[in-house]
Structure 1
């Protein structure tokens, strides 16, 4: 690590404020240079290297966002943050979208200034993170297609900021993997990554799970409990299936995002929390806003930086890269010899639409490894019961909206259970026998809907939360490895 003092550029036309910030930074070993307008700032940036830049948004010769864009374009390794008027979140969001690392509101407190610049400077003191970042990308985001290379570039850019990130994509495209990658490449990587599936938490427990509670605040509250938002302090909070959040929780989340403070149930004291929020959904939030099911103000707070994840059918040869990756990974987990895909099997995979995306591909590979008794996986192993799950389309179809499977309630066990299963007498007791039937019903519903859990829940006439509980109960709810 360098022994030189970190150097930052302060850009503000208020000379007294600049002097106070210089003195505050000097006390913590940071050297600060001052520019009073955009012209002076550009001259100083050209003349010497800075570890970070902090600019006011209202300057005599222009808008501070102009300087943000200039620094982002010409000095991409110099993080730039902005100073905003208190409560002016719209301008702050505009600056974040323009490339600002973070923002601080006036009046600027010494501790806020120190925390902000430490976040910006520490990652720049050691360039070894660049090689490590590439290794993390290759391990977590498999694929070499152009669309994935562009996605990696976007993730690298976004990971340098503190801006909220909103991830969209079909079910199974890897939303949690991308959220985790953003966290792992950011300066919060040493803090916790706390993933929460908003659709998996029962409504009556949601406030306690997210915000925590004090002992005695309600029946069965026998001790204090830390909420998941507080557990993300110093790190990143990932809210998957954000569209499932009830309206009353949306109000509370909005305040937590805006004020970075939470109040546990039964407490009259607010707790300060420092977290970056990343959210995701496969639903159309703008349509839900029009229907009155999602708050527009919360949408604007979450939708600062957005990432769209491509469906697997748009990723070409990535299908085979992922298939080989899953084969190797699963063989290691199962402690069995590695197997190879035949050319026929590879071609078959490239011709599928994979409406269940990466999650569906992994499920197919797991089944094929189970069925194959040799050192290869051939087409018959992949095509086992695949007619109900895979469509024989070309690997590069014209972009079209994939029709959702027709939802019909499952009303008779005979539709999904084989004769052997229907008439087999229980050998391990009634409870175990009924659980095996339930597991088979869940598996068949998932296969009928291409592992789309929302559609499977509708088919089974149960809530998404109930389905998610049962999937976890039977070990069928796979997380990670491009699974969300």
Structure 2
């Protein structure tokens, strides 16, 4: 017997659907609004949630974070109306198990529901993420658990994996976890920094060379492809590859064969491919900046890592773990923390994600190594100021004190990071204004902005914005 939650404001549907669930031997819970759905999710352990997109108090997808954080992380089936052509795309992009179009007849509901329950049972029988070797991967947020579940699936195969996520989210850690939990763990994990590959030497670096192939080649040398034979080849920042190097990679990925520079015979390499990027490769491919055929080979399994601001419940654990490591490295006593210290950390947006958090903690430790307990005053001013802005005690445009401004000028970020952050700030402000103008109604926001509801939902999720009224 399964426990099913139907979130829909139609009382007639409640009765007919309840009768169907009783015939199937399941228990039905009903919520007529997002808020009632939240209360039920907090109170009951559910297996499947059938979620209508159009509810009296907002857009149905606003309930997804609560569903993912609920006990047992129930599967989601999206219910769409006939007048909603974007419904199917939204269901897929939101990670829902399936979607059903109204009217909800027994024939339309029974098979997707049965399949979702079968999938849930199979997922429970898999190797749980807790038994994975996950060194330095810290966190128990539902979004992280979902990523670790994908790591377990990837480790049991030789399929190519694409790890995506913002800078600093830990893409290489996840790539190493896939390798460490696979049958190839006894062989090499070879990292290729795609952003640093020199185009003039790429064939020598990747394929190797024989003695005398060019000036300075005084002996045979294996390339990175050969070093990865039997192990894992990790292509870091693959979105930075030039078109010429993309073609070079594709040739080898097709059959695993290559010829060292200066050699007359081909070699082969049996490696497992894992790639990582912070860029949208699909958008790049559509714009002609990335090869479609290479993208198809990379994304057999895709793991999208959440930004730190999307899993604030992990910040305390991350901070304690890393501060203890730092204290051990520098030979210092373990630090204590005031509760307010964590509150300020959780209020900050962490544009550089976990890497940004760890860098900040090291800065705090080195500046206040003699303090036995850390308080908010020990954190950098820009982090404390954002806390004040969140609580309304400081205006967004308020100037920093002179000494803070001096330190900010001294820490100028690279142009590429600055441009990305500036663009994100503009997008965030636009989306906030759009939500305010549309009063949280995604359909009206889509009409005003010219963007599809599915694209808007992606952006709202990216920036942690809620469409709740």
Question: Post-superposition shift, 1:215?
Answer: 2.1
CA, structure 1 residues 276+454, in 2 after alignment: closer, same or farther (shift >3 Å)? farther
CA offset digits 1:432-480 (Å, max 9, x no partner): xxxxxxxx99x7123xx6xxx8426999xxxxxxxxxxxxxxxxxxxxx
**Counterpart contact for 1:353–1:393, Cα < 8 Å:** no
Q: Find the residue that maps to 1:171 and give its secondary structure.
A: coil
Equivalent runs, 1:190-201 vs 2, <5 Å: 190-201=186-197
Once the two structures are superposed, residues 205-252 of structure 1 have per-residue CA deviations (whole angstroms, 9 ceiling, x without a partner) of 332222212222223222222111111111101101001112121112
CA 1:150–1:392 in structure 2 vs 1: closer, same or farther (change >3 Å)? Answer: farther
After superposition, residues 166-185 of structure 1 pair within 5 angstroms as 166-185=162-181
Describe the superposition over 1:158-198 as per-residue Cα deviations: whole angstroms up to 9, x where unpaired.
11010000111000000000000001111111111112221
Matches within 5 A, 1:28-43: none
Normalised by the length of structure 2, the TM-score is 0.56
Q: How does 1:201-212 map to 2 (within 5 A)?
A: 201-212=197-208
Distance between the aligned counterparts of 1:384 and 1:391, measured in 2? 10
Map 1:356-375; keep pairs closer than 5 Å. Answer: 356-372=352-368, 373-375=370-372
Partners of 2:350 and 2:357 within 8 A in 1: yes
Q: TM-score, normalised by structure 1?
A: 0.54
Structure 1 residue 200, shift from structure 2 partner: 2.3
Gaps of 5+ in 1: 1-129, 396-414, 419-439, 460-484
Partner of 2:411: 444
Match of 1:475 in 2: none
1:318 to 307, 314, 317: 314
Question: Which of 378, 391, 406 is the aligned partner of 2:375?
Answer: 378
Corresponding residue of 1:346: 342
Contact 1:198 1:239 in 2 (8 A): yes
Structure 1 residues 416 and 273, CA, compared in 2 at 3 Å: closer, same or farther?
farther
Quickly say closer, same or farther: Cα 1:357–1:458, change in 2 above 3 A: closer
Q: Tell me if structure 2 keeps the 8 A contact 1:350–1:394.
A: no
C-alpha contact (below 8 Å) 1:198/1:241 kept by paired residues:
yes
CA distance in 1, matches of 2:371, 2:170: 31
Per-residue deviation at 1:335? 1.5
Deviation at 1:386, TM superposition (A): 4.1
**Equivalenced residues, count:** 283
Contact preservation (8 Å) 1:172, 1:358: yes
Is residue 249 from structure 1 mapped to residue 245 from structure 2 by the alignment?
yes
Change (3 A) 1:267 1:417: farther
The answer to whether 1:140 aligns with 2:136 is: yes
What is the alpha-carbon distance in structure 2 between the residues aligned to residue 211 and residue 353 of structure 1?
Answer: 42
Q: Does 1:187 align with 2:183?
A: yes
Q: Distance in 2 between matches of 1:379 and 1:180?
A: 34
Residues 16-415 of structure 1: pairs in structure 2 closer than 5 A: 134=131, 136-137=133-134, 139-372=135-368, 373-384=370-381, 386=383
Q: Give me the whole-angstrom Cα distance separating, in 1, the residues matched to 2:173 and 2:388.
A: 28
Partner of 1:81: none
CA distance in 1, matches of 2:382, 2:274: 37
SS of the aligned residue for 1:333 comes to helix
In structure 2, the CA distance between the partners of 1:271 and 1:315, relative to structure 1 (3 Å rule), is same
Q: CA deviation at 1:134?
A: 1.7
CA contact 1:240–1:281 (8 Å) conserved in 2: yes
Structure 2 residues without counterparts, runs of 5 or longer: 1-126, 392-403, 422-469
Is the Cα–Cα contact under 8 Å of residues 313 and 354 in structure 1 kept in the other structure?
yes
Shift in alpha-carbon separation, 1:445–1:220, aligned structure 2, 3 A: farther
Q: Distance in 2 between matches of 1:183 and 1:325?
A: 23
Name which of structure 1's ranges 283-292 and 199-208 shifts more when overlaid on structure 2: 199-208
Per-residue displacement from partner, 1:236-270 (whole Å, max 9, x unpaired)? 01101001112121112112111011211222211
Which piece of structure 1 moves more, 264-273 or 217-226?
217-226
What secondary structure does 2:191 align onto? Answer: strand
* CA distance, structure 2, for counterparts of residue 227 and residue 349 of structure 1: 44
Structure-1 separation of matches of 2:279 and 2:150: 22
What is the CA-CA distance between 1:201 and the residue it aligns to?
Answer: 2.8
Q: CA deviation at 1:202?
A: 2.9
